[in-house]
Structures are given as C-alpha cells and as structure tokens.
Amino acid sequence: NKLSSLTPFQELFSLKKLDISYNCVVELSEVNNLKSVSKCYELNISGNPVCSSIGYRELIIYVLPNLRVLDSVPINCSERVAAKMLLEPDIFTSAQHLRAKIELWNQLACPEINNETVPSDEPPVPLVVLVGSFMNGKEDIAEKLTFKFPDQIYRCKKCTTLPLEKNYSPDNLISVPIDEFNTMIKAGRFIFYYKEVGYFFGVCQDEL
C-alpha cells in the first residue's frame, strides 16, 4: 500500500464505500479529490499521515456530506455542525477577511520615503498574497513554491494565538499568547491580522 494521491477516485461517482487505510496520503488538500464521490457513506483513511493534520476529520465530513462513518467511527450531528461552521465562514468572518485584504492593499499603496531610501531603477520585490477559503491548499502551494525556489521566494511568517502541538509546528507560524498578540495590535506591528475559527493570525511589518 503506497497510495499517496486520491486523484484516481475523482471519477468514481457511484462509489459508496472506500477503504484506503494505511497508505501514504500526506497532503490534506488531497481530500478535495473526493468531492465528486458524493454518494460515499463509509470511508476509512486511518493509518495515513494526513490523519494527524489539524481539521482532517472536519474537512472530510464537509467534503462528503452523505458520509456516515469515517475511520470506523460514526459521524454525529454535532460534528456535521462543527464542520460546517469551520469551513463555511459566517458573514462576520467574511467581512473580516475583506477588511484584512483592504488594509493590506492600503498599506502597500502608501510607500514611505525617507533620507535613507536608495534610488533604484529596479522594480520592488513583488508580494504574492494567496487567498481562498479555509483549508483549500494555500499552505501547500506556498510550501512547495518556497521549497522549489528558495533563493527567489520568501514565505512570510504569521503570528497566531493558535496553540501549536509538538508534532505540528509549521515553520511559518509563531504561536504567541493572546495578551501578547493584543499588545502587538496596539503597537501597530501587523500589516494585517484576522480571526479564523476562534484564533487570531497576523503578519508583522518586520516580514516585509
């Protein structure tokens, strides 16, 4: 068993039960390949590295609304509600995302020039902002780009109030207490910040 991608299952529209336990699926974004298998009511992915990813169970429950059993554990109503709340942001959360993007562009559109600025004909270093819904593969894309072009691409680090586990500590996340995060907000240290699933995330000005 060395299956690492769920792409082969994209066109199995009538599939109702699937057992791919103890394989080599690592990326959480692979779960999106199961969207078309909407009739599936029992799925077992236990034993794959992806199972240790944050939000793994919620994402699968959201992607497969007709699923009844996941990894031999029945899915209850509270899990379905939690998955929907996590992956379908309410109007307030969506408004926060929009505000964060507007704040980012406003700050980027107001360059500061002082006596130490060195004239140059070269264009500024481009900043790429990956946007999209929660858990849609943005982190995977960023990680692959920085790995492939380490000398050309720098991945900005984010401060977060999300407590990071020892076995899950991404290089681009720095966990800080909520009091410290609030102090950083008051000090104007963030280019932008936002709240996602109950936790704050922010990119410091020092990253640019």
We report the CATH number of the domain holding residue 63 as: 3.80.10.10
CATH of the domain at 148: 3.30.63.10
In a domain, 117, yes or no: no
Give me the pLDDT at residue 73, please.
93
Is residue 82 located within the same domain as residue 95? no
Q: Is residue 1 part of a domain?
A: no
User: Where are the alpha helices (H) located in the chain, listed in sequence order?
Assistant: 56-63, 77-87, 91-108, 138-148, 178-186
**How much is the pLDDT for 71?**
92
Tally of domains within the chain = 2
- With a cut of 70, list the residues of the chain below it in pLDDT: 1, 89-97, 100-137, 165-170
42 and 135, same domain (yes or no): no
Q: Which domain holds residue 155?
A: 91-112+125-207
% the chain with pLDDT above 70: 73
Angstrom distances, CA of residue 83 to CA of 64, 97, 143: 11, 19, 25
Kindly state whether residues 96 and 51 are assigned to the same domain: no
Q: What one-character-per-residue DSSP string does 122-136 give? A: SPPPP------STTS
Task: Decide: 41 and 67 in contact? Cβ < 8 Å.
Answer: yes
Asked if residue 57 and residue 102 are part of one domain, the reply reads: no
> Quick one: pLDDT at residue 136?
61
